[in-house]
Amino acid sequence: MSTTTRAVLFDEAHPLRLSTGAELAPVEVAYETYGELDADRANAVVVCHALTGDAHAAGDGGWWSTLVGPGRPIDTDRYFVICANLLGGCSGTTGPSSTDLKTGAAYGLRFPLLHMRDLVAVHRALVAHLGIDRLHAAVGGSLGGMQVLQWALDHPGEIERAVLICASARLTAMNTGFTAAARAAIMRDPDFHDGDYAAHGTAPRTGLVVARMMAHLTYMSEEALRRKFDRERRVTDARMAFDDDFEVEHYLTHQGEVFPERFDALSYLYLTRVMDYFAPFEDPRLDLAAVDTAFQVLSFDTDWRFGTEHSQYLAAQLRAGGVAVDDEEIASPWGHDSFLLDVSEYHAAVARFLAAPAPASHVAGTPPSAD
Amino acid sequence: MSTTTRAVLFDEAHPLRLSTGAELAPVEVAYETYGELDADRANAVVVCHALTGDAHAAGDGGWWSTLVGPGRPIDTDRYFVICANLLGGCSGTTGPSSTDLKTGAAYGLRFPLLHMRDLVAVHRALVAHLGIDRLHAAVGGSLGGMQVLQWALDHPGEIERAVLICASARLTAMNTGFTAAARAAIMRDPDFHDGDYAAHGTAPRTGLVVARMMAHLTYMSEEALRRKFDRERRVTDARMAFDDDFEVEHYLTHQGEVFPERFDALSYLYLTRVMDYFAPFEDPRLDLAAVDTAFQVLSFDTDWRFGTEHSQYLAAQLRAGGVAVDDEEIASPWGHDSFLLDVSEYHAAVARFLAAPAPASHVAGTPPSAD
């Protein structure tokens, strides 16, 4: 069991230079580690969280305790596991609701816009800070998988194995439509105050509740909702009302209501925007020939947030550059949320990929650099 | 071309008795008609609108002008077409934002809760008011199709042919989840004032905008969004911002912004709730043996609001009672919205079904009353 550590990785003298050219300092990072680092520092695994996650991946209440822990697929008896809160987040790492030391107030919308590369830069700095040169693996689900992909594409030599679970390399118009509706709910909330809600002693709670109710539906499958709730009602008489009568309403309301207690509206805006703009295979600087990471790309058959077609596109782009990809669609009724759940075929696939000798990162006979 | 007519069909002396037992008066109905009623009054076709429709179905700006008009599948040179705004609506028919004559103020949430049967009762009264005993057909899309289904199930002898297009006889938990999120956006808007927004000289505009942005996504397909917008951006430089940059965002924002100009928040609540509770095949009073309507049930392959599985359930329930059903899944890339568009296979199917001699309403040899 780990407790969260905070480290200032960039300061005024050594600011974080963002992909837009802007500079940010200080940048503090909240992280946890599990297990022990080997003497040769070769057993480190970074796990990257999704949109609303945090550094507490494993142990009691850990968001990925199904996957990470002693004897789990990411076995902390074997690997030294690192999990950090994202840049732009709200659980200990610097983000738009952090205090801008220049003004003494929260950044708000004056916080610089972020690219996936900036999130990677902070995690790389943490790995260096921990004295690690090369990761046995980096593993991420959803936004976390997207971050791992950017890292592996940009920094050969640093990640031996990358596991991308229900990730995407190119959001669809439907995906961006849903994040746009969520952002509209937040930014049109009168308590948003152009992002300066902290100065007004308030927060766009209503907007966050509605955004979460809507987003939560995209994380579940029709089948999951049917199994959990179907058309079950809470009142058994014939009363019809606008308060929560169907169990699915009650559940969504609960998910919405608890969300503002643990997540910040500005982080929601910044991190969803990072995903909207993420399109690494359209980047002219991409050099797939240099990539030396072996990829496992997993998707779930009932996921309609980032379904198998997203993973197929991602895998096809890698393969077109000669990169070795082990991809698999896992059957699971639980939709996008499956990556957080104990789905045995999925867990077995991750355990197998992590434990196997490092596969060749390029398909034999087709190194793109030799073409 | 027709202009909207208003008729008071229920008054204090003869109130509308609702399925809950409550009484409502007066009830005014806004309707339009197109074409001429035959001397034998046998060519009337009622068309029923979806959640946010109105009485103006055909002609300039008519919401179903693709389907209804001279030479169109519902041919106004041949049929006398009637379209009325729904009870609970906000386009001329009495609804929750109408003035309660007892108080002189808008009903607000004091308006009685409605069942699909109540919507049918008002449309039946209109048909009687026009001196028509039996309809050549009743045709509806989405909520409109659900209304036609209730009418045909409850009132044998009144509808010769029923055309139900992308309708449902039982919303899923996913469907109700989306309407719950939309209602949350409206009811949590500080301008909602527990439904008494008119008395406060305001309206929950933000809630309606967000509800519409979200709902609009459920009316479109992934494929439709890809074809229309893909990842096209409005600004061509590398600027990243929270205002509408992707074309899909701009489109959704526009759809949201114009919605409060034409639709009322209370109507949105009442009519979505009618759909949530609609489950005619679970009604113990249902007597399929008495039904004498022939059904055409159409769905679209990319509709994920009320997809083909909804139509299949509906058709299966009718068939289990021996009722004749002509059902078809139409290929169309445009999702749920397809019912409003000029999809040739769909239009041809409707035209064929309406023009053919009335088919037997029960499958030969299997009248359920003889079982």
pLDDT tens digits, residue range B44-71? 999 999 999 999 999 999 999 999 999 9
Residues in B touching A277 (Cβ below 8 Å): 240
Q: Which residues from chain A sit within 8 angstroms of residue B269, using beta carbons?
A: 242
pLDDT score recorded for residue B368: 43
DSSP secondary structure, A224-252, as one string: HHHHHTTT-BS--SS---SSS-BHHHHHH
> In whole numbers, what is the pLDDT of chain A averaged over residues?
95
Instruction: For residue B231, give the nearest of A109, A173, A253 by CB distance.
Output: A173
**Cα–Cα distance list, B362 to A43, B41, B304 (Å):** 71, 25, 30
Tell me: pLDDT of B12 over 70: yes
For the segment A113-122, what is each residue's pLDDT rounded down to a tens digit? 999 999 999 9
What is residue B234's predicted lDDT score, i.e. its pLDDT? Answer: 87
Q: Are strands B16-17 and B5-10 parallel, antiparallel or unpaired?
A: unpaired
Q: Is B157 exposed, middle or buried (0-12, 13-18, 19+ CB in 10 A)?
A: exposed
The nearest CA of chain A is from the CA of B333 a distance in Å of 14
Which chain A residue lies closest to B182 (C-alpha atoms)? A210
**For residues B153 and A305, what is the distance between their CA atoms, to the nearest angstrom?**
38
Contact A217 B174 (CB under 8 A): yes
pLDDT at B1 over 60: no
Element (H, E) at A10: strand A5-10
DSSP symbol at B299: E
Is residue B55 a contact partner of residue B122, using CB atoms and an 8 Å limit? no
**Contacting residues for B337 by C-beta, under 8 A, at least 6 apart:** B219, B220, B224
Mean per-residue pLDDT for B235-243?
A: 66
Q: How far is CA A24 from CA A16, A109, A174, B249, in A?
A: 5, 14, 32, 29
Positive/negative CA dihedral, B121, B126, B129, B132: negative
Q: How far apart are CA A358 and CA B23, in angstroms?
A: 75
Q: Is residue B50 within 8 angstroms of chain A, CB to CB?
A: no
Annotation marks residue B142 as catalytic: yes
Res A252: pLDDT: 97
CB contact under 8 A, B177 and A256: no
Digit-coded pLDDT (tens) for A126-177: 999 999 999 999 999 999 999 999 999 999 999 999 999 999 999 999 999 9
pLDDT range class, residue A365, cuts 50, 70, 90: very low
> Which is catalytic among the residues B189, B336, B337, B361?
B336
pLDDT at A367: 45
> What is the location of CATH 1.10.1740.110 in chain A?
174-275
Q: How far apart are CA B97 and CA B111, in angstroms?
A: 8
Number of alpha carbons in the 13 Å side-chain half-sphere of residue A100 = 16
Average pLDDT, integer, range B117-145 = 98
Query: String of b and e for B194-214 (b: at least 16 CB within 10 Å)?
Result: ebbbbeeeebbbbbbbbbbbb
Residue A363, pLDDT > 70, answer no
> In the structure, what pLDDT confidence band is assigned to residue B357 with cuts at 50, 70 and 90?
confident
For residue A370, pLDDT beyond 70: no
| Residue of B22, B313, B332 whose CA lies nearest to B170 | B313
Better pLDDT: A242 or A37: A37
Q: Which of B324, B45, B33, B275 is nearest to B142 (CA)?
A: B275
Choose the catalytic residue: B54, B118, B189, B303.
B303
The answer to whether A208 and B264 are in contact (CB under 8 A) is: no
Tokens 């929270």 belong to B242
Catalytic residues of A: 142, 303, 336
CB contact under 8 A, B248 and A173: yes
- Give me the residues of B, 165-204, that contact A with CB < 8 A: 170-174, 176-178, 180-181, 183-185, 187-190
Report the pLDDT value the prediction gives residue A236, as an integer from 0 to 100.
57
Contact predicate A358/A161, CB 8 Å = yes
- The CATH class of B5-171+278-370 is alpha beta
Contacts of B115 in chain A (CB under 8 A): 240
Nearest CB to A184 within list B187, B210, B247: B210
Cβ of residue B9 closer than 8 Å to a chain A Cβ: no
Tell me how close the Cα of B240 comes to any Cα of chain A, in angstroms: 7
Average pLDDT over residues A16-27: 96
Using an 8 Å Cβ cutoff, are B27 and B16 in contact?
A: yes
CB neighbours (10 Å) of residue B370?
9
pLDDT surpasses 80 at B364? no
Domain boundaries for CATH 3.40.50.1820 within chain B: 5-171+278-370
DSSP A293: -
B-proximal residues of A, 114-153, CB under 8 Å: 115
pLDDT digits (tens, 9 = 90+) for B266-300: 999 999 999 999 999 999 999 999 999 999 999 99
Query: Is the pLDDT assigned to residue A238 strictly greater than 80?
Result: no
Report the residue from B187, B238, B247 with minimal CB separation from A242: B187
Q: How far is A6 from chain B (nearest CA, A)?
A: 29
- Would you give the DSSP letter of residue B196? T
Contacts of A115 in chain B (CB under 8 A): 240
How many angstroms away from the CA of B229 is the closest CA of chain A? 7
For residue range A72-98, what is the model confidence (pLDDT) as tens digits? 999 999 999 999 999 999 999 999 999
Out of A173, A217, A220, whose CB is closest to B226? A173
> What's residue B243's pLDDT?
84
Q: What is the pLDDT of residue B215?
A: 97
Shortest CA distance to A238 belongs to which of B22, B120, B169, B187?
B22
Q: Do residue A249 and residue B180 have CB atoms under 8 angstroms apart?
A: yes
pLDDT tens profile A188-207: 999 999 999 999 999 999 99
Chain-chain contact of B174 with A240 (C-beta, under 8 angstroms): no
Q: How confident is the model at residue B2 (pLDDT cuts 50, 70, 90)?
A: low
The per-residue pLDDT for range A215-230, each reduced to its tens digit, is: 999 999 999 999 999 9
The pTM (predicted TM-score) of the whole model is 0.95
Alpha-carbon distance A229 to nearest alpha carbon in chain B (angstroms) = 7
CA distance A74 to B7: 70
B283 noted as active-site residue = no
Residue A242 binned pLDDT confidence (cut-offs 50, 70, 90): confident
Alpha-carbon torsion (A262, A265, A267, A271), positive or negative? positive
Q: What is the pLDDT of residue B362?
A: 75
Residue type, position A130, single letter: L
* Cα B174 to Cα A73, A175, A230, A248, B323, distances in angstroms: 32, 17, 9, 8, 29
A239 pLDDT exceeds 70?
A: no
Distance from CA of A74 to the nearest CA of B (A): 33
Per-residue model confidence as pLDDT tens digits over A313-335: 999 999 999 999 999 999 999 99
What is the average pLDDT score of chain B?
A: 95
**A225: nearest CA in chain B?**
B173
Contact A210 B249 (CB under 8 A): no
Kindly provide the ipTM of the predicted complex, given to two decimals: 0.94
Residue with tokens 């074997």: A78
Cis peptide before B26 (omega within 30 of 0): yes
Query: Which of B192, B215, B259 minimizes the C-alpha distance to A214?
Result: B215
Residue A17: exposure state from Cβ atoms within 10 A (0-12, 13-18, ≥19): middle
Q: Which of B203, B3, B5 is nearest to B92 (CA)?
A: B5
Judge: domain A174-275, CATH 1.10.1740.110: yes
Is B101's Cβ below 8 Å from some Cβ in A? no
**Residue of A152, A150, A156 whose CA lies nearest to A118:** A150
Helix (H, G, I), strand (E, B) or coil at B303: coil
